[in-house]
Structure 1
Amino acid sequence: MLVNGIEIDLCHLEKPLLLVSKEDEILFHQLIKPTLEHELIQCQLALSSRKSISLVRDIWLAMYKDREKLFINSGHAMLYPIRLILFELVTQEEYFKRLAEKSRGDECLSLAYAVLFLQFVMQWLKERFSDKLEVYDALKFLYRTTDDYSDDDHSSITREKAIAQAIAVKSIRIEVQNNRQEFTSLLFQTYNFVIYLHEKVSAKESKNRTTLPSMCNVAETLNLFYSQRYTTDKADFSG
């Protein structure tokens, strides 16, 4: 299907970081297609490429299931080191765990939360590394659609790409360590936004507000949240 004007085959996402059942794979595909059809301009970093959608699936599964009971597929983790470090940084944070408790077992709510968490984190990383070309070049493929289907084969990864990925992973880890308070605040603000969004949606709707379209059509609400409560000068939440 078309995502931001680019054709992406949702049946051929990257391999999952977590050991996942066939039923959960099918469920994710059933959920993500109508989500993308809403043309979520406000979340285009999180939903812009095969790589980023694959990471949304990883985070969604950790939200939907009990993260502590899920296992990393070590082979896939080696293949996608940048996805792995971002997954670990997000899912280890306390505010992620709090929202996961609220959404566990609710597939739609878990997906909405996963998209929002990844959007906030990728926006932060994009800003932090925009002037560091070596890292940025490796990182940008998460949200720029490329002909990356060959990446599913270990033998296709060149030495140069492996080095670039290693540099990006190390740089991301150091950046978060050196700015731990800021990164934690970022996820705290994401947590706040979700609570704020629920309040806005419930004020407009009397029906079930855990439905995915209600959670996703949030461009106006998101920009309002940015202007009122988010601690940066950035008003634009899109990529």
Structure 2
Amino acid sequence: MLINGIEIDLAKLEKPLLLVKEDEELLFRQLIQSTLEHELIQCQLALSTRKTISLVRDFWLAMYKDREKLYINSEHALLYPIRLIIFELVTQDDYFKRLSKKSFGDEWLSLIYAVVLLQFVLQWIKERFSDNQEVYEALKLLYINSDDNVDDQTSPSREQSIGQAIAVKAIRSEVRENSQEFASLLYQTYNFLHYLHDIEEEKETNKLPSIKNVDDTLNRFYKKRYTTNKSTITG
């Protein structure tokens, strides 16, 4: 699959944070392949790299499955500390739990929720740390694609480990110090997804095209609810 000019083998994503069955892995691969073919440019951050697509899979699985049957793979979690902190901060929020109740057992709805939610979260993180060179250096692989020939079991270098640890601490601190803003982002993303869900029920059409054609709605969301000119979320 060609993403941002780089060929990505969807069978070689990063290892999942959650324990996942082979049939669930295959299902996600089929769903994300179809999603990427729709060229959802409004959600380009969430679908831009192996790392972000792997995080979409984590969110998708957390929304699709029974929460009581979700287990973190501790071995994999150690490999991806940045993915882990984003996953933990988002999934512990009440609005994520509400979304997961709405999408439980629905593979398409879970995917749509996961993609849109991650898009807004990554946008928020990117804006918060765009001027922090030390942190952004560790985060940039979320946004910039690299060669897909990667051995996921290779331990990061000491320098990479330090950079990841700094980024994790910075993200945790940013969310804690701006908890109301982060909560507002998730709340408004919840409302946005609820709106899309209502549109879909009215149209009674396939969910993916409805997401593909919400460019104006997404733009209004950013303009009215989220601004890159300020460090806060308004509305």
Q: Which among 214, 217, 237 is matched to residue 213 of structure 2?
A: 217
Measured after TM superposition, the shift of residue 69 of structure 1 is 2.3
- CA–CA distance in structure 1, aligned partners of residues 226 and 145 of structure 2: 30
Name the CA shift for 1:154/1:6 in 2 (closer, same or farther; >3 Å).
closer
The residue matched to 1:154 in structure 2 has which SS? coil
1:37 and 2:32 equivalent?
no
Percent sequence identity over aligned pairs: 67
Choose 21-30 or 64-73, whichever is displaced more.
Answer: 64-73
Question: If the length of structure 2 is used for normalisation, what is the TM-score?
Answer: 0.92
Q: How does 1:130-149 map to 2 (within 5 A)?
A: 130-147=130-147, 149=149
Q: CA deviation at 1:202?
A: 4.5
Cα deviation per residue 1:182-211 (whole Å; 9 max; x = unaligned)?
A: 0000000100111222334455x2x245x3
* Structure 2 counterpart of 1:30, one-letter code: Q
C-alpha displacement at 1:148, in angstroms? 5.7
The number of residue pairs the alignment matches comes to: 229
Residues 149/177 of structure 1: CA separation in 2 closer, same or farther (3 Å cut): farther
SS of the equivalent of 1:152 reads coil
AA at the equivalent of 1:232: T
1:181 and 2:180 equivalent? yes
Counterparts of 1:199-218 in structure 2, within 5 Å, are 199-203=198-202, 205=203, 207-208=204-205, 211-218=207-214
Q: Which residue of 2 aligns with 1:197?
A: 196
Task: Give the secondary-structure state (helix, strand or coil) at the position aligned to 2:145.
Answer: coil
* CA RMSD between the two structures: 1.6
The 1:180/1:95 distance shift into structure 2, 3 A limit, reads same
Q: Deviations over 1:59-106 (max 9, x none)?
A: 000000123321000000000000000010111100000011000000
Give the Cα–Cα distance (whole angstroms) in 1 for the partners of residues 148 and 176 of structure 2: 30
Contact 1:77 1:84 in 2 (8 A): yes
1:55-94 equivalence runs, <5 A: 55-94=55-94
Shift in Å, 1:57: 0.2
What secondary structure does 2:105 align onto? coil
TM-score, normalised to structure 1, is 0.90
How far apart, in 2, do the equivalents of 1:48 and 1:231 lie?
21
Task: Give the Cα–Cα distance (whole angstroms) in 2 for the partners of residues 151 and 174 of structure 1.
Answer: 30
